[in-house]
């Protein structure tokens, strides 16, 4: 028997098929119909695994769109799922930094993987995946290019804490002739500073795991590690961590 975890984010929908370990994964843009996207992602992941729906023990949904998944057996918060997924992957993890499409979360775990504290920024898009996605459009850059910027220090700074005003700052800087590389570095620096503020509210407890879509940005991870003066690990399935946690919960571990 297997379990299926679905993480319906504002930008991407992730699925993990689990039978005691990860059997298959899938990721699709969420789009305007989370339920339809989730159904397609589950179908694709089951096909990859070579399994039939009759073999599914339980389906657990998480993420901002979890309430729309009426075929799920259970819905669980992202906090619980990211904690469960990260701790399962490495039981030395005590702090989880999750930056998704529309919010950021810092989660503190005890030695058994239980959530003992967390803080969440879901009131503003600044510093999230959606924010960087929008800025990449303004700069005419791909998200991949943000991982391969020239690492020279930037002389500019994005001062606004608001995503809308930050975009205006970016447009203004470009109009003044500031190089795109400098502006892009300033944006990443702004994101690290916002994460640092959240981390300070919870504190660092042992090993840090970075999950969510922005964890794929190697330069951001490097900058954040320096900012926090701590090592940060990014797992192979970091973007699927919420879906993995949901699948583990469904499996009964």
Per-residue pLDDT of 14-50, as tens digits, reads 999 999 999 999 999 999 999 999 999 999 999 999 9
User: In what helix (H) or strand (E) does residue 166 lie, and over which residues does it extend?
Assistant: helix 163-175
CB atoms inside a 10 Å sphere around CB 148? 11
Question: What is the predicted pLDDT for the residue at 161?
Answer: 66
Question: What is the predicted pLDDT for the residue at 25?
Answer: 98
Question: What is the predicted pLDDT for the residue at 122?
Answer: 63
Flag whether the pTM goes above 0.75: yes
Question: Which CATH fold topology does 91-234 show?
Answer: Nucleotidyltransferase; domain 5 (3.30.420)
**Of the spans 108-112, 129-133, 210-214, which averages the highest pLDDT?**
108-112
Q: What are the residue boundaries of the structural domains of the chain, listed by start?
A: 1-90+237-253, 91-234
Contact 57, 2 (CB under 8 A): yes
Contact 136, 143 (CB under 8 A): yes
For residue range 142-194, what is the model confidence (pLDDT) as tens digits?
Answer: 888 888 888 776 778 887 767 778 888 999 999 999 999 999 999 999 899 98
For residues 155 and 183, give the distance between their C-alpha atoms in angstroms, rounded to a whole number. 9
Equal fold, 1-90+237-253 vs 91-234: yes
Burial classification of residue 52, based on how many CB atoms lie within 10 Å of its CB (0-12 exposed, 13-18 middle, 19 or more buried) = exposed
- Residue 103 sits at the vertex; the CA angle it makes with 246 and 115, to the nearest 5 degrees, is 50
Q: Which of 97, 98, 99, 94 is nearest to 115 (CA)?
A: 94
For residues 182 and 66, give the distance between their C-alpha atoms in angstroms, rounded to a whole number. 38
For residues 29 and 219, give the distance between their C-alpha atoms in angstroms, rounded to a whole number. 23
| DSSP secondary structure code for residue 176 in this structure | T
For residues 91 and 142, give the distance between their C-alpha atoms in angstroms, rounded to a whole number. 34
CA 214 to chain centre: 6
DSSP 189-232: HHHHHHHHHHHHHH---SEEEEESGGGG-HHHHHHHHHHHTS-E
How many CA atoms are closer than 13 Å to the CA of 41, on its beta-carbon side?
30
pLDDT at 73 over 90: yes
Identify the band that residue 113 occupies on the pLDDT scale cut at 50, 70 and 90.
very high
Identify the band that residue 123 occupies on the pLDDT scale cut at 50, 70 and 90.
low
Question: Which CATH fold topology does 1-90+237-253 show?
Answer: Nucleotidyltransferase; domain 5 (3.30.420)
């Amino acid at each position: 028997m297997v379990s299926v975890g679905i993480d319906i984010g504002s930008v991407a929908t992730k699925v993990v098929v689990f039978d005691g370990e990860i059997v298959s994964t899938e990721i699709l843009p969420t789009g305007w119909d989370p339920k339809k996207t989730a159904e397609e992602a589950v179908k694709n992941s089951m096909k990859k695994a070579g399994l039939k729906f009759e073999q599914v023990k339980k389906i657990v949904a998480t993420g901002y769109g979890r309430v729309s998944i009426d075929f799920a057996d259970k819905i669980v918060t992202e906090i619980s799922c990211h904690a469960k997924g990260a701790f399962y992957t490495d039981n030395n993890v005590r702090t989880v930094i999750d930056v998704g499409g529309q919010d950021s979360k810092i989660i503190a775990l005890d030695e058994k993987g239980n959530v003992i504290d967390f803080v969440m920024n879901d009131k503003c898009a600044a510093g999230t995946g959606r924010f960087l996605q929008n800025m990449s459009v303004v700069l005419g850059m791909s998200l991949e290019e943000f991982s391969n910027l020239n690492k020279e220090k930037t002389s500019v700074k994005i001062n606004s804490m608001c995503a809308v005003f930050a975009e205006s700052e970016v447009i203004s800087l470009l109009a003044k002739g500031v190089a795109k590389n400098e502006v892009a570095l300033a944006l990443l620096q702004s994101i690290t500073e916002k994460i640092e503020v959240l981390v300070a509210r919870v504190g660092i407890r042992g090993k840090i795991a970075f999950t969510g879509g922005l964890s794929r940005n190697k330069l951001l991870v490097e900058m954040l590690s320096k900012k926090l003066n701590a090592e940060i690990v990014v797992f192979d399935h970091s973007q699927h961590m919420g879906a993995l946690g949901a699948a583990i919960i469904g499996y009964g571990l």
